[in-house]
Amino acid sequence: MKRELLLDVQGLSLTAGAFSLQSLSFQVHRDDYLVIVGPTGSGKTLLLEALAGLVAVEAGRIFYQQQDITAAPPETRRFGFAYQDSLLYPHLTVRENILFGAAVQGRAKAPEIRRRLTELAEVLAIGPILNRHPERLSGGERQRVSLARALLLQPPLLLLDEPLSALDPQTRAGLQQLLRHIHRDEGVAVIHVTHDFAEAMHLGTNMLLLNEGRLWQSGTPQELFARPNSEYAARFLRVENIIPGSIRWQDDQRWFGTERSTRLFGPLPEQGASEWQVGAPSFLAIRASYIRLTREAQTESGPESESGPGPRSVSASVPALAEGQAKECGWPATVTEITFQGSYVEVTCHAGDCWLVHVPIAHWRSLHLQQGETVWLACQVSDLHVVPRAGQETSMDDGLD
Amino acid sequence: MKRELLLDVQGLSLTAGAFSLQSLSFQVHRDDYLVIVGPTGSGKTLLLEALAGLVAVEAGRIFYQQQDITAAPPETRRFGFAYQDSLLYPHLTVRENILFGAAVQGRAKAPEIRRRLTELAEVLAIGPILNRHPERLSGGERQRVSLARALLLQPPLLLLDEPLSALDPQTRAGLQQLLRHIHRDEGVAVIHVTHDFAEAMHLGTNMLLLNEGRLWQSGTPQELFARPNSEYAARFLRVENIIPGSIRWQDDQRWFGTERSTRLFGPLPEQGASEWQVGAPSFLAIRASYIRLTREAQTESGPESESGPGPRSVSASVPALAEGQAKECGWPATVTEITFQGSYVEVTCHAGDCWLVHVPIAHWRSLHLQQGETVWLACQVSDLHVVPRAGQETSMDDGLD
Amino acid sequence: MRRQGEPFSTIVTLITAALCTLLLAVFAGLLGYGETESIRDLFQEPEFRFALRLSLQTSVAATLLATVVAIPCGYFLARNHFPGKVVVDSLLELPIVLPPLVSGVALLIFFGPLLGPFLQEAGIAIVFTPLGVIVAQWFVALPLAIRSFRQAFAAVDPRMEKVARTLGCTPFQSFWRVVLPIARPGILGGMTMTWARTLGEFGATAMLAGVTRMKTETLPMAIYLSMTNGDLSFALAIATVLLLVALLVLTAFKVFMRTEVQL
Amino acid sequence: MRRQGEPFSTIVTLITAALCTLLLAVFAGLLGYGETESIRDLFQEPEFRFALRLSLQTSVAATLLATVVAIPCGYFLARNHFPGKVVVDSLLELPIVLPPLVSGVALLIFFGPLLGPFLQEAGIAIVFTPLGVIVAQWFVALPLAIRSFRQAFAAVDPRMEKVARTLGCTPFQSFWRVVLPIARPGILGGMTMTWARTLGEFGATAMLAGVTRMKTETLPMAIYLSMTNGDLSFALAIATVLLLVALLVLTAFKVFMRTEVQL
């Protein structure tokens, strides 16, 4: 079954005040839940407003179901829109707020609109508050009403600008479930701007990373988190270990050598090989939760480094990872700091470079670890991810021949 | 060595606008880093202001180093104070801001003050910005200057009102390290209000949970997170699994029977036994990260329930938990939802009750789990924690004889 | 934070209390000195009845005209930012800073020697006529109306309009259905203050419409005329009435705004 | 969001532009109609020199007196909340809503029949004297000063003071070292507007101090007197000078505030 293309954005550019978008291109299909992340000032809100027709586009085209809507005013596009603040109209009741769009068309009393209101009130659990005024609602109620208002006329596309960021965590979790439900059951495509990575992970089927008005990386949230395509993306997505070094060629395979140790990590997986140039200064980027910490080293393999206790790659003989081909790469390190973080323990280890490892609570309890002890770190070689170093830093000494 | 008692608060009560404090008592020692958490409106900021002397106390006493300072004006207490907004004086340079307290005393040019400024500028890395005006600083810089201003005259006690909550995560992490460092190396006691639990965990040696102006629970952060003393505390501290049921007596031991299943969990540890009354409606409160998820059941032990696949407690024969005496309690469940969350996978399981389990990424990869599959959940019996049910809910049918 | 007996707070409080007492004494003096009978008689007096009717007619007309112009201007200024806006702002605020007498002289020149001949051809007489009273009041009160409406519109989050647009509103519909209803308290409050300004206007009116008994004699004019003629009790009676109206206006304004006075 | 050619936005813009044109025409008419020579001659005229000196002396004195009172009052109102505050607010704002003529009548009663005998004993003459000019200007301009200072103080986060207290300041020190410097632009802006108000004041001054040539003749009085005497060119020249002063005041205010006009 071919996925229906809903929105096709081609080379979108515009400037508004301090914000700008520069030649953005992407597509949204009917079954997409597109999450947009990026730092403050990256133009996320501006992008949503441009899609809704609320700001004029300077260059590029927006196609909606094959039709060029670049110059169409917002009242003809009718995409649902909800901001971080619910922006309910204070002079109207909840019911009148939700019916606002229908009232503009003079259809507020049409039977199909009444049915739709009842349906939405049930889904969003706002039946009991329909006659109240917005100022008497809680934050979560307000945001649900705001969603109901945007959804009343069944827009094909819902644009959400950090809709949950003003809510407390419990309310937020409930509304995330609701958004998922609306996306699936109402069959509405969603574009959702957020700064909460857990939310992006939880909701998104696709993700865009914007920075300074440019599209930095796109893919599934899982791809972006595990394999950011640049130092910037890695830092923004908070990859805990970003270790400087360079790629080296040994035994007909690529390995990563760090700047502050003589160790080689690898062999690097083939998938990213084309972009990973041997010798180019780069970073090894691994999330703290991808590294396993044990007391003892496991079986070793792989080439020895030129000097010292060299690189090791471990065939997966660990019981918990006994699923066939997963190859591991392990190295010893000294524990320098231990921080209890609720659902995991953050362990800082030193091995020339500084490594952050997140140890699950259950596993932690069996370790009885102290500062200063030596442990064995390991990760799957498929998790060894290399990102190029940003241009201005290539002048740094990178220790290559 | 006896710990030096710095601050002794006895029965502190006061009302200011919509906020109030009701008969708060606690102590702060010189080596304490006391973290205060609580919902919005619980009076956290008011408490700090009362300690600093900025609001008048209605009842109770505050002793500072054995001296009654309840009625002393703030300018004689001289506790360091920093708010969420850095509140730097816009008409002064960074240097003048930091020296403000000394300037009031006419000591801004004293040699010891100059030395202190140099020292603080180095510790807080604000040397290069000393001559700038506050409006040209970043959020992190501002907050560091605000700390320097509070620390210049070497206060014995630092009061921090959500000092990091306006900062982005990277900057926040850096400043957390800095606060830790200041606490340890400057030897200054800290009282730090925060709404960020990771921050509380990371920094606090002690923690108070306030609600509606009352002290709800105190202890180390780890104690509060693992063993909240009430349903309210468990929900506020976001314990993921709060399962209704009651305590039953069987085989001369306490067990927890849930409302929605016939399963018994236990035997419950002895430590909380005095508060846990048999038969009283209560909740089992376990964090999602304390539950282990495996494909197969492990060795069983413990009494069978009256009907159906009963309660099981498992002797720790799991390799990763082979540390001697840890007893386990396990039960089967069906996977209903799987959400990838970055550093762990959140698995929702159904077994009469609904269980949330956080599975570490590394472990997850070996599971290859699908929705609808049956898995085995287990937790250490020492993690089985029971909280009483709030008064208004005792009327609920609790299924006891 | 204030402690009992703290000297600085005490002094600040005492100064405020003293000022309040002074104001109270001044206004109470006016109310107490005027004889109650003279106010009752006042409403029989033909000159007062003329001045009252003229004042009400002109001030209501000027307020409505100012509102009609100030709503689009206030909205424009609240929503648009462009280079040189400060010049437009200054131009529209100039009549606030300018002594009303100067505005009156400027209007007299504008509608007299400059536009007079054309107006005469069109059969419109502004200088030294009741129509001139309306023009003078409108001119002086308009900047106040624009400023208060502008504040009221600026307080409406522009995203309220954006949401309305995505729900199918044209720009006018979003203004009419969203901005205007939300800004309503501010608009009503602004209109009240504008009316108070037109009702009390003397300088500009005196210049453009002249101080002519029973022709362009508004209530302030009547006070001035009777004071210069030495008829203190008539002036006092009118002043008392205007003081009561001012109290009413202030109360109405507070009710409309339901908050502190912003204007 | 505005699109080119969108009818609603176009109408709103056009109305604003039309109003700006009208104001520009009115003021340009005043500037263009007065002969430049007459302004040059003006400064030789003894009556103008008297009026200018009196206006400057009284308005500066009244502004300074108003500032001295308004700073503690504005600070008190910005920082304290108590039951019945709305009554105090209304009392202090009443002179803004009241026609200046009515304020003048009230002051005349207060300093004449009521306090006059006592003042005479003390050797102080207020009614129909230059001192009365200062009192009238002070009374009318004071509420404006209080309101603008209050806004300036309210804009200073009270926690700025709290931090100062923890750093060793007494309440007065925290006011002097923190609040006053931070509120300085607002205070200066408010003083500018207060001065403009005192300089243009006519109604209250005319009632309390009288319109007496070469005695209580301020610049607005001079305009009024010359207009009633038919000396249009003298009035025009003074009006032009006051228009230029108003432009200067507005510019100074914008510079002080460095933002949009708030007063």
- Report the pLDDT value the prediction gives residue A64, as an integer from 0 to 100: 93
The architecture in CATH of the region D42-257 reads Orthogonal Bundle (1.10)
CB contacts < 8 A (A, B): 98
DSSP calls for A34-93: EEEE--TTSSHHHHHHHHHTSS--SEEEEEETTEE-TT--HHHH--EEE-SS----TTS-
* Residue B146, min C-alpha distance to chain D (Å): 10
The per-residue pLDDT for range C154-192, each reduced to its tens digit, is: 999 999 999 999 999 999 999 999 999 999 989 998 998
Q: Is B55 in Cβ contact with C3 (below 8 Å)? A: no
Higher pLDDT, B393 or D70: D70
ipTM here: 0.81
| Average pLDDT score over residue span C126-132 | 86
In sequence order, which ranges of chain D are alpha helices (DSSP H)? 7-33, 36-42, 46-79, 85-97, 100-109, 116-122, 130-154, 158-166, 171-174, 180-200, 203-209, 219-228, 232-257
Q: How far from chain centre, in Å, is Cα C39?
A: 25
B198 → closest Cβ in A221, A341, A380: A341
pLDDT in tens, D125-151: 888 888 899 999 999 999 999 999 999
Q: What is the pLDDT of residue C252?
A: 82
pLDDT of residue A192: 95
State the nearest Cα–Cα gap between C94 and chain D, in angstroms.
7
Q: How far is A53 from chain D (nearest CA, A)?
A: 9
Spans of chain B below 70 pLDDT:
1, 271-276, 298-326, 391-401
pLDDT at B275: 66
* Alpha-carbon distance A366 to nearest alpha carbon in chain C (angstroms): 54
Percent of chain C scoring above 70 in pLDDT:
94
- Per-residue model confidence (pLDDT) at position D175: 94
Report pLDDT for B325. Answer: 47
From chain A, pick out residues whose CB is under 8 angstroms from the CB of D1: 49, 54-56, 74
Rounded to an integer, what distance in angstroms lies between the CA atom of residue B362 and that of residue B367? 9
Q: Are D234 and D41 in contact (CB under 8 A)?
A: no
Nearest to C98 by CA among D31, D32, D230, D130: D31
C-beta atoms of D165 and B73 within 8 A: yes
Residues of D in contact with B83 (CB under 8 A): 159, 163
Look at residues D247, D241, D99, D252 and name the one whose alpha carbon lies nearest to residue D190. Answer: D252
Rounded alpha-carbon distances, angstroms, from residue B154 to B69, B72, B120, B158: 19, 19, 10, 9
DSSP state of C177: I
Interchain pair B78, D184: CB under 8 A: no
Q: Which of A54, A89, A153 sits opposite C160 (nearest CB)?
A: A89
- How many other C-beta atoms lie within 10 A of the C-beta of residue A2? 5
Which residues in B lie closer than 8 A to residue A314 (C-beta atoms)? none
Taking an 8 Å cut-off on Cβ atoms, the answer to whether A222 and B339 are in contact is no
Q: What are the angstrom distances between the C-alpha of A226 and each of A34, B343, B344? A: 18, 10, 12
How far away is chain A from the Cα of C155, in angstroms, using its nearest Cα? 13
- Mutation target vs B (from A365, A367, A379, A383; most B CBs, 10 A cutoff): A365
Measured between its terminal Cα atoms, the distance across chain B in Å is 53
What sign does the dihedral B122-B128-B134-B137 (CA atoms) show?
Answer: negative
Tell me: cis bond preceding D171? Omega within 30 of 0 counts: no
d(CA B196, CA B190): 16
What does the mean pLDDT of chain D come to?
86
* Residue of chain A whose Cα is closest to the Cα of C167: A101
Structural contact between residues A197 and B342, judged by C-beta atoms closer than 8 angstroms: yes
Name the residue in chain C with its Cα closest to that of D68: C15
Residues in chain C: 263
Calpha distance B185→B208 (Å, rounded) = 24
Q: Report the residue count for chain B.
A: 401
Is the CB of B169 inside 8 Å of chain A's CB atoms?
Answer: yes
Tokens 């990838």: give the residue: B340
pLDDT given at position B173: 80
Structural domains for chain B: 5-226 (3.40.50.300), 232-388 (2.40.50.100)
Residue of C12, C80, C223 to mutate, testing the D interface (most D Cβ within 10 Å of its Cβ)? C12
B263, B343 Cβ separation under 8 angstroms: no
pLDDT at A311: 39
A87 inside 8 A of chain C by CB: yes
Q: Poorest-confidence range of C169-178, C251-260, D25-34, D243-252? A: C251-260
Q: Would you call D113 and C33 a contact, using CB atoms and an 8 Å cutoff?
A: yes
pLDDT at residue A400 is higher than 80 = no
Average pLDDT over residues A271-295: 82
- The pLDDT confidence band at residue D5, using thresholds 50, 70 and 90, is low
d(CA B154, nearest CA chain D) in Å: 11
What's residue D261's pLDDT?
38
pLDDT on residue C214:
81
Residues A28, A4: Cα–Cα separation, whole Å: 9
The Cα A28–Cα C78 span in angstroms is 36
Does residue A35 surpass a pLDDT of 90?
yes
Q: Considering the entire predicted model, what is its pTM?
A: 0.84
Who's near B81: CB < 8 A, 6+ residues apart?
B48, B52, B150, B158, B159, B160, B161, D162, D163, D166
Top mean-pLDDT range of B264-273, C33-42, C125-134, D111-120: C125-134
Chain C residue closest in CA terms to D88: C20
Q: How far is CA B295 from CA A313, A380, B348, B384, in A?
A: 28, 22, 15, 22
Helices (H), B194-306: 197-203, 221-226, 231-236
**How big is the A-C interface in CB pairs under 8 Å?**
64
Which residues on C lie below 8 Å from D65 (Cβ)? Answer: none
Largest CA distance in chain D: 73
Q: What is the mean pLDDT of chain C?
A: 86
Of D157, D170, D181, Cβ closest to residue B87: D157
Taking CA atoms, what residue in C is nearest to A152? C167
The predicted structure's pLDDT at residue C31:
84
Where are chain C's structural domains? 1-33, 42-257
A308 touches chain D (CB under 8 A): no
State mean pLDDT over A142-167: 90
The sign one gets for the Cα dihedral B80, B83, B86, B87 is: negative
Both tokens assigned to D206: 């005319």
pLDDT tens digits along A63-81:
999 999 998 999 998 899 9
Binding partners of A (≥3 Cβ pairs within 8 A): B, C, D
Of A306, A351, A313, nearest to A332 by C-alpha is A351
pLDDT tens string D96-112: 888 998 899 889 889 88
Say what the pLDDT of residue B273 is: 55
- Which residues of chain D have a CB within 8 Å of the CB of A74? 1
Chain B positions touching C3 (Cβ under 8 A) are 56, 73
Chain D residues inside the 8 Å CB shell of A55: 1
**Does A270 score more than 80 pLDDT?**
no
Enumerate neighbours of B (3 or more CB pairs within 8 A): A, C, D
| Cβ <8 Å between D72 and C33 | no
pLDDT (tens digit per residue) in A170-224: 778 888 888 988 898 888 999 999 988 888 988 999 999 999 899 999 999 988 9
Find the residue in C nearest to A79 (Cα): C166
Model pLDDT, residue C5: 59
Strand ranges inside C119-208, DSSP E? none
pLDDT of amino acid D141: 93
Binned at pLDDT 50, 70 and 90, residue D165 comes out as very high
Long-range contacts of B112-115 (CB under 8 A, 24+ apart): B113/B152
Q: CB distance B322–A380 less than 8 Å?
A: no
In this predicted structure, the answer to whether residue A159 has a pLDDT above a threshold of 90 is: yes
Which chain C residue shows the shortest CA-CA distance from D100?
C200
Q: Which residue pairs, CB below 8 angstroms and at least 24 apart, start in A367-370? A: A367/A293, A367/A295, A368/B323, A369/A295, A369/A335, A369/A338, A370/A335
Name the band, by pLDDT with cuts 50, 70 and 90, for residue C126: confident
Report pLDDT digits (tens) over C59-111: 999 999 999 999 999 999 999 988 888 888 888 888 888 899 899 988 988 98
Q: What is the mean pLDDT of residues A285-291?
A: 91
CA-based nearest residue to C150, from C85, C74, C88, C96 = C74
Q: Looking at the predicted structure, is the pLDDT value of residue C201 above 70?
A: yes
CA distance B102 to chain A (A): 37
Which of B168, B288, B366 lies at the smallest CB-CB distance from A323?
Answer: B366
State residue D254's pLDDT score: 80
User: Which residues between 42 and 101 in chain A have a beta carbon less than 8 angstroms from any beta carbon of chain B?
Assistant: none
Interface contact B104-D162, CB threshold 8 A: no
What's the DSSP call for residue A135? Answer: G
**Are B83 and D164 within 8 A, CB to CB?**
no
pLDDT the model gives residue C1: 41
From chain D, the residues in CB contact with B101 under 8 A are: 167-168
pLDDT beyond 70 at D34: no
Q: How many CA atoms lie within 13 A of A37 on its CB side?
A: 24
Best mutation target, A37, A289, A338, A345, to test chain B (most B CBs within 10 A) = A289
Which helix (DSSP H) or strand (DSSP E) does residue B268 occupy?
Answer: none
- Kindly list the residues from chain A whose CB atom is less than 8 angstroms away from the CB atom of residue C164: 100, 104
Binary contact (B100, D160; C-beta < 8 A): no
- For B262, which DSSP code? S
